[in-house]
Structure 1
Amino acid sequence: MVYILNIETATKNCSVSLSKNGEIIAVKELSEEQFNHAEKLHSFIKEVLNEVQISLNDLSAIAVSKGPGSYTGLRIGVSAAKGLCYALDIPLIAIDTLAVLAEQLAIDSGCIVPMIDARRMEVFTQVFDNKLQPVSNAEALIVEEHSFSDLTETIHLIGDGALKCTTVLTAEKFVYHQDIIYPSAKQMGRLSYKKYTENAFEDMAYFEPYYLKDFMLTTKK
């Protein structure tokens, strides 16, 4: 049996799941305006393991959502994953956060554009086809009226970044799925198991979150 612990902390959703041969068998998550990931993450890990009555030593690998997303959230998730992998001597798997978000939507045609809020009118985004394959690179995009003008097919927008685009991206080709807001570890099972079978592991000594943008520290006026 391949048990993989999946950790998703790139947004306001602190999410942990446990998968068995790629199928999710336990989930614990909570979305809050204030980031409480440091307080919640390790208790969530204990809860999903207790739910299926296995221990940390039964894990085959740990998968973590690597970004883009919140600097604080990503650091918390990646630090926890690397620490556990090192202590348990098991491999680390990194999953693209935008791919995790895209997994929540199934479509027959058109494309999926997950968006993670990056403040003001900027979003972290990427285009996926209806088979959930990426057709563009992840980018930090300032959304304006002519964004995605090169795409003529139906564009399905998801994520908390999409919520603020409803008054800007108004063409008929844009379809908003406002019930899909945050990436979740519930969608990481298939992705992490695939990487496990391919031995697509990270070097724990050098792996860092994918911030996409340089960190900028600001102070309140």
Structure 2
Amino acid sequence: MALILNIETSTKTCSVNISKDGILLDYREITSEKYIHSEKLHLLIQETFKSLKIEFQELNAVAVCSGPGSFTGLRIGVASAKGIAFALGIPLISMNSIKIMIECFNPAPANKNAILFPMIDARRQEVYTAGFNSEKKQLTEISCPEINENFITKHGKYEELLFLGEGALKFKNMFKKSPVLIVDEPLNSSRGMSLFTFEKFSKKEFENLSYFNPFYLKDFIPG
């Protein structure tokens, strides 16, 4: 049995869940433009444990979103996860924010010649993203491109380009006569972590507590 605490703090949403053998048992999350992760993260964790009547000592692992995303949010989430793992002597598991988003997206598009881009705002016209096919298989590495006509042309072999998540919202009025479809529903949630982190637990794919740090991708910018 694997009882795992999953933590996602890469955006303005602070989200936690407890899963058992890849099945989500309960979750808590809160979204705020003020990025209140430092105030709410441990409260959400405590509420989730209390609702399930589970003790911290029963955990088999703790998993955390590694990034990219909000520098401050990632630091808080990773520091908390490492602290819990160290205190309990249990493994630390990581999962990147873009993978979490694609796991939260459902259903997949009917068009098999579509490419999906989960997006997290990286300021200006840039986003953190990677490309996935309609079966959620990753096609491109995580990067931080500028989204413009050149980006669309680069992926011209696809009939549809789906821009996913709240990071796609700023492009809603930019590509009205193009193959771009905007699906700006929130996708940054720990609910997308349970199955993947259980698979990593089963394979013993753990992080080194001493050396693990957030995956920022860009140079540090406060926020």
TM range (shorter): over 0.9
Task: Tell me the equivalent position of 2:175.
Answer: 169
Contact 1:12 1:182 (C-alpha < 8 Å) held by counterparts: no
Distance in 1 (CA, whole Å) between partners of 2:222 and 2:74 is 16
CA contact (8 A) 1:5 1:63 kept: yes
User: Which has the larger displacement, 209-218 or 17-26?
Assistant: 209-218
1:182-221 aligned at under 5 Å gives the runs 182-216=187-221
- Out of 129, 135, 144, the residue aligned to residue 133 of structure 2 is 129
**TM value normalised by structure 2:** 0.93
Unmatched tracts of structure 2, length 5 or more: none
Of 97, 100, 121, the residue aligned with 1:117 is 121
Please say if residues 7 and 16 of structure 2, whose CA atoms lie closer than 8 Å, have aligned partners that are also in contact: yes
Percentage of pairs with the same residue: 37
Contact 2:63 2:93 in 1 (8 A): yes
Aligned length, in residue pairs: 217
1:24 aligns with 2:29: no
Q: String of CA shifts for 1:166-192, please: whole Å, max 9, x gaps.
A: 2223344222212x2241001110111
Letter in 1 for 2:175: L
Q: Counterparts in 2 of 1:41-120, with a 5 A limit?
A: 41-105=41-105, 106-107=107-108, 108=110, 109=112, 110-120=114-124
Whether the 8 Å contact between 1:115 and 1:159 is mirrored in structure 2 is yes
Residue equivalent to 1:150? 154
Per-residue deviation, residues 108-161 of structure 1 (Å, max 9, x unmatched)? 422221010111211111111222221101111111123132332322211122
> Are 1:145 and 1:168, in contact at CA under 8 Å, matched by a contact in 2?
no
Q: Name the CA distance, whole Å, in 2 between partners of 1:217 and 1:198.
A: 35
Alpha-carbon distance in 2 for matches of 1:52, 1:189: 16
Shift of 1:217: 5.7
- Distance, in Å, in 1 between the alignment partners of 2:142 and 2:84 is 28
Structure 2 residue identity aligned to 1:116: I
Name the CA distance, whole Å, in 2 between partners of 1:163 and 1:25.
31
Q: Is residue 104–residue 187 contact of structure 2 (8 Å, CA) maintained in 1?
A: no
Distance verdict in 2 for CA 1:13–1:217, change over 3 Å: closer
State the one-letter code of the partner of 2:30: L
Query: Cα RMSD between the aligned structures?
Result: 1.5
**Corresponding letter in the other structure for 2:15:** S
**Structure 2 counterpart of 1:71, which letter?**
F
Three-state SS of the structure 2 residue aligned to 1:136 is: coil
